[in-house]
């Protein structure tokens, strides 16, 4: 591997998985491997999201025959345990011991923020599959960092515009007290023109607050006609209590990164009907009409017997992006400028249509209004109500000084 020499770091104890597309690698081929490290959440209840990332990347690698530019590709999965310090340790292990060429994954903003320097200081391209904190879109942007999901404010900025269209005058907000929770609420407040009658930021991390009875009592007493919520991977607990609190008949629910194809099967199984009629905004949904998305959804369903989520969709795009960049560099990973330009060009068929990066390497996505409804066969899913925001840009790009 042609990279800056690195000292070895003893691997920290936790879940580690290596995925090879081919059963064996020819002798002497190790130096020609392309290694991709993936830091995600493989334990704790939030592992349902990590499984989406792992499954999607495994599928993508299989579909490209396990090679990029004629070189075998190795995926090395590491578990962050939902803890920033563990995420940083696993990142250090991947770049120093495994000497990966690319590092990706990162569901949580606080884990990514704790890990970023370990990757970037080691001259390793860092591609977040989900987390996109405001600092890394602005003052902490870096030429070697890319995100596959729009910066955290943008989706809720789009939702704020949808709230305005629907004439919502009073809203209450709830989100976890960490970087992404603060970003999504800030994004909503940038565009929403009505009155925010109350806000709560709840405990997060590997031991998050899961009893929302006090907050829901405040929502009910506030006179809010709508509730905005952001609880990734915790939709079942949140929605069950939302319904038990009697809010489903009085307070319209709007969410981001909360009700999705991970949560909906469990909500339907539990008959948590408060989810029906709720609304959200996303850059992707299973029925998005692009040729690549139709193929991806069918392949994911066939392999895993479930619909993919938006986390899977973003993670699935990572390897085709890397493939396009390495091929643009003629397979020469030592030509970092060429690889970087290839990443910026994103010349591949994305599930979202055309992937376009802004100057700060955050994607400029289209965002769609979605309502949760029961389909003709009774299955709960999301239905598009139209485009809300076209090529949405985050408000932090002007603070990014990395240059062209």
- CA distances to 45, 79, 139, 214, 234 from 15, in Å: 15, 5, 33, 36, 22
pTM of the shown model:
0.89
Phi-psi region of 194 (alpha: psi -120 to 50; beta: other; left: phi over 0): beta
Q: Which pLDDT does position 26 carry in this prediction?
A: 45
Q: Tell me, what's the pLDDT at 17? A: 73
Equal fold, 16-131+289-351 vs 153-283+365-394: yes
Q: What angle do CA 116, 120, 125 make, to 5 degrees?
A: 105
CA distance 54 to 77: 8
Closest CA to 131 of 93, 90, 92, 80: 80
Map residue 151 onto helix, strand or coil: coil
Q: For position 20, what pLDDT does the model report?
A: 56
- Residue 31: predicted pLDDT: 62
Contacts of 240 (CB under 8 A, 6+ apart): 270, 272
Structure tokens at 403: 């240059």
Is the domain 16-131+289-351 a CATH 3.40.50.2300 member? Answer: yes
What's the first-to-final CA gap in the chain, in angstroms? 27
Q: Three-state SS string across 97-109, please?
A: HCCCCEEEECCCH
Q: pLDDT tens digit string along 116-138?
A: 999 999 999 999 999 999 999 99
**CB-based contact 346:356 (threshold 8 Å):** yes
Q: Which residues of the chain are modeled with pLDDT < 70?
A: 1-15, 19-31, 403-404
Q: How far apart are CA 209 and CA 176, in angstroms?
A: 9
pLDDT of residue 15: 56
Give the pairing of strands 16-20 and 34-40: unpaired
Contact (CB, 8 A) for 393 and 154: yes
Q: What's the pLDDT at 5?
A: 37
In this structure, whether the domain defined by 153-283+365-394 belongs to CATH 3.50.50.60 is answered with: no
Return the domain boundaries, the chain. Answer: 16-131+289-351, 153-283+365-394
Q: What is the phi/psi pair of residue 174, to 5°?
A: -135, 135
Give the per-residue pLDDT at 30.
55
What tens digit of pLDDT does each residue of 88-109 get?
999 999 999 999 999 999 999 9
**Residues 104, 289: Cα–Cα separation, whole Å:** 27
β-strands 279-282, 252-255 pairing = parallel
Distances (CA, A) of 205 to 44, 144, 260, 261, 392: 10, 27, 21, 22, 29
């Amino acid at each position: 591997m042609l990279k800056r020499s690195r000292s070895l770091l003893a691997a920290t104890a936790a879940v580690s998985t290596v995925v090879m597309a081919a059963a064996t690698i020819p002798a002497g081929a190790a130096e020609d491997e392309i290694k991709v490290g993936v830091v995600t959440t493989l334990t704790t209840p939030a592992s349902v999201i990590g499984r989406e990332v792992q499954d999607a990347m495994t599928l993508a690698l299989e579909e490209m025959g396990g090679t990029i530019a004629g070189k075998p590709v190795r995926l090395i999965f590491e578990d962050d345990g939902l803890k920033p310090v563990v995420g940083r340790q696993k990142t250090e292990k991947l770049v120093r011991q495994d000497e990966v060429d690319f590092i990706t994954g990162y569901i949580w903003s606080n884990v990514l923020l704790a890990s970023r320097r370990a990757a970037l200081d080691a001259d390793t391209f860092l591609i977040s599959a989900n987390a996109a904190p405001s600092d890394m879109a602005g003052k902490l942007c870096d030429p070697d960092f890319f995100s596959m999901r729009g910066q955290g404010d943008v989706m809720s900025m789009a939702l704020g515009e949808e709230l305005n269209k629907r004439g919502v005058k009073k809203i209450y907000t709830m989100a976890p007290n960490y970087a992404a929770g603060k970003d999504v609420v800030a994004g909503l407040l940038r565009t929403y023109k009505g009155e925010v009658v109350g806000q709560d930021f709840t405990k997060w991390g590997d031991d998050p607050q899961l009893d929302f009875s006090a907050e829901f009592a405040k929502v009910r007493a506030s006179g809010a006609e709508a509730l905005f919520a952001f609880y990734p991977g915790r939709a079942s607990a949140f929605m069950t209590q939302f319904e038990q609190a009697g809010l489903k008949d009085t307070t319209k629910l709007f969410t981001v990164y909360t009700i999705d194809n991970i949560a909906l099967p469990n909500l339907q199984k539990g008959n948590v009907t408060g989810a029906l009629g709720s609304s959200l905004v996303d850059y992707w949904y299973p029925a998005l009409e692009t040729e690549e998305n139709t193929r991806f959804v069918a392949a994911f369903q066939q392999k895993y017997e479930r619909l993919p989520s938006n986390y899977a969709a973003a993670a699935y795009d990572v390897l085709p992006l890397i493939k396009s960049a390495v091929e643009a560099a003629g397979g020469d990973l030592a030509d970092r400028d060429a690889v970087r330009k290839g990443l910026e060009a994103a010349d591949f068929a994305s599930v979202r249509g055309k992937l376009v990066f802004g100057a700060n390497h955050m994607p400029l996505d289209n965002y769609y209004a979605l309502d949760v409804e029961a389909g003709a066969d009774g299955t709960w899913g999301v239905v598009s109500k139209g485009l809300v925001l076209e090529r949405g840009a985050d408000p932090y790009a002007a603070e990014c000084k990395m240059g062209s």
